[in-house]
Amino acid sequence: MEIKRTTRRIVTGHDADGKAVALFDGAVEAHQRTPGGNAITMLWVTSESPADVNGSIDRTATKVGVPPPQNGSIFRIVDFPPTRPGTGHVDHDKILIGMGIDPATQGYMRHANTHRTRSVDYAIVLDGEIDMLMDDTEVHMKAGDVLVQQGTNHAWVNNGSRPCRIAFILIDANEPSAWKQGWTK
């Protein structure tokens, strides 16, 4: 199931006279970027903290994977299609590399999409329902639910019959001390 969605994105800034203006105001298209068919809409990327708010360039042109740049942040929307039964074997390392994640930095793999990022992630379910699998537990989320994730091992699985849309804000963070324990199962 290919997901085609657009999101109106408005980015403000300042003109040459220092007045507040809308620098960008238009539709941003979702792009298929994952083997599972997730559609990703990039809204903004920063690569420094505190963020530089003086520019007028479109920062979504910054090449990133799932994790934010060091000292930076990412704002994106991801549309997760329902899980297709019988998709066969998936190469976990290949999926991680496609996400921009070094497989050597990962822990226990409960699911083919299991990953962790050195970030604090704010996730807001905008539409639909989804399950977030962690090491030994899972959390069912639906529209309106909000998650704050602190560098935890997880996988998103849409067991429903329609797409689930989630807004994500990822902010670079220090590596959790739990990672040093080398959790494997």
Of 11-25, 112-126, 169-183, the poorest mean pLDDT is in: 169-183
pLDDT at 74: 92
Q: What is the mean pLDDT of the chain?
A: 83
Question: Which residue ranges form the domains of the chain, and what is each CATH number?
Answer: 33-181 (2.60.120.10)
Segment 50-58 shows an average pLDDT of 90
Q: How far apart are CA 133 and CA 151, in angstroms?
A: 14
For residue 89, what are its two tokens?
């074997």
pLDDT digits (tens, 9 = 90+) for 92-149: 666 666 666 666 666 667 666 777 778 898 999 999 999 998 888 999 999 999 999 9
pTM score: 0.82
Check whether 78 has a pLDDT greater than 50.
Answer: yes
Q: How far apart are CA 19 and CA 81, in angstroms?
A: 42
Residue % of the chain over a pLDDT of 70 = 75
Check whether 185 has a pLDDT greater than 80.
Answer: no
**Amino acid letter, residue 1:** M
pLDDT at 2: 59
